[in-house]
Amino acid sequence: MKQSKRIKELSEKIDVKQDYNLADAVNLLKENSTVKFVESLDCAIKLGVDPRHADQMVRGTVSLPNGTGKEVKVLVIAKGSKSEEAVEAGADYAGFEEYLEKIKSGWADVDVIIATPDSMSELGKLGRILGPKGLMPNPKSGTVTMDVATAVKEVKAGKIEFRVDKTGIVHTSLGKLDFEEEQLVENAKTFLNTIVKLRPASVKGQYVLSLFLSSSMGPGLKINRDEIPTH
């Protein structure tokens, strides 16, 4: 495959065969971001789990201390006063039947859906539509709750949901490259600590196999194992 001029220049400046500490990797990616938009800092963690087994399915949420830098569109499926609470807390959309109908007709212009428990019987019927998009609310991720105001505020402030894919990798974004280096490193450490705490009891041997940081359009940099917490 023919490499673009930008990728050739990047490969001359960055040694992708080297292991980096978090701060050096973030610095390199920040310094060598040459595209015309603000790239994200992306993270890929390969875990020694078999996601086909329910007891090795790693999933959860984490509130990044410095946020994601992304404008998150939130829909709250709730009735009456709860939908009003959601709007006051900053939800972009809130309601019940009108949004169920919109979703049925193919609308899904949101990043996160939060729902009250009493609305899940109807919303659950749309699992075929929302499931593949990763939008179905889930009590484990805090997106099925009566406290819709707190849930909206947390998501808007930088709470993200993640889950291991079928190949054993967790992908997520840890902020924007125009953040300060310290902010991105702090976000990365918070996320790593959360992943390590979620180690399934049934996993034997090495849990975190590898960790890579990259920019949206840049190369992946392997992070030194010393940066990965052990517990």
The better pLDDT of the pair 207, 32 is held by 207
Clarify whether residues 83 and 149 are in a common domain: yes
Residue 10 lies in a domain: no
Show which of 122, 138, 156 is a domain's final residue.
Answer: 156
Range of the domain at 57: 15-68+160-227
Q: What is the pLDDT of residue 14?
A: 72
Residue 8 lies in a domain: no
Q: What is the pLDDT of residue 228?
A: 85
- Reply yes or no on whether the pLDDT at 156 is more than 60: yes
- Reply yes or no on whether the pLDDT at 10 is more than 70: no
User: How do residues 56-109 score in pLDDT, each as one tens digit?
Assistant: 999 888 999 999 998 899 999 999 999 999 999 999 999 999 999 999 999 989
Clarify whether residues 79 and 140 are in a common domain: yes
Q: What are phi and psi of 193, to 5 degrees?
A: -60, -40
For the segment 139-166, the average pLDDT, to the nearest whole number, is: 92
97 sits in which H/E element: helix 97-104
Rounded percentage of the chain residues whose pLDDT exceeds 90 = 72
Residue 49 lies in a domain: yes
Clarify whether residues 63 and 164 are in a common domain: yes
Q: What is the pLDDT of residue 21?
A: 94
User: How do residues 113-134 score in pLDDT, each as one tens digit?
Assistant: 999 999 999 999 999 999 888 8
Clarify whether residues 87 and 137 are in a common domain: yes
Mean of the per-residue pLDDT values of the chain? 90
How many whole angstroms separate alpha carbon 99 and alpha carbon 227? 44
Residue 178 lies in a domain: yes
- Reply yes or no on whether the pLDDT at 136 is more than 60: yes
The better pLDDT of the pair 182, 36 is held by 182
Q: Which amino acid is at 196?
A: V
DSSP 75: E
How many whole angstroms separate alpha carbon 75 and alpha carbon 112? 6
Q: What is the pLDDT of residue 3?
A: 52
Q: Which CATH number fits the domain that encloses residue 62? A: 3.30.190.20
- Reply yes or no on whether the pLDDT at 32 is more than 90: no
For the segment 130-158, the average pLDDT, to the nearest whole number, is: 91
Q: Which amino acid is at 214?
A: S
Residue 96 lies in a domain: yes
Clarify whether residues 146 and 81 are in a common domain: yes
How many whole angstroms separate alpha carbon 23 and alpha carbon 16? 15
Q: 217 pLDDT band (50/70/90 cuts)? A: confident
For the segment 39-44, the average pLDDT, to the nearest whole number, is: 95
Clarify whether residues 105 and 207 are in a common domain: no
Clarify whether residues 171 and 203 are in a common domain: yes
Clarify whether residues 186 and 199 are in a common domain: yes
User: Is the entire prediction scored with pTM above 0.85?
Assistant: no
Q: 8 pLDDT band (50/70/90 cuts)? A: low
- Reply yes or no on whether the pLDDT at 207 is more than 90: yes
Clarify whether residues 143 and 181 are in a common domain: no
Q: Tell me the sheet residues that pair with 60.
A: 162
Show which of 128, 156, 184 is a domain's final residue.
Answer: 156
Residue 1 lies in a domain: no
Q: Is 6:209 a contact under the CB 8 Å cutoff?
A: no
- Reply yes or no on whether the pLDDT at 1 is more than 90: no
Domain count along the chain: 2
Q: Which CATH number fits the domain that encloses residue 91? A: 3.40.50.790
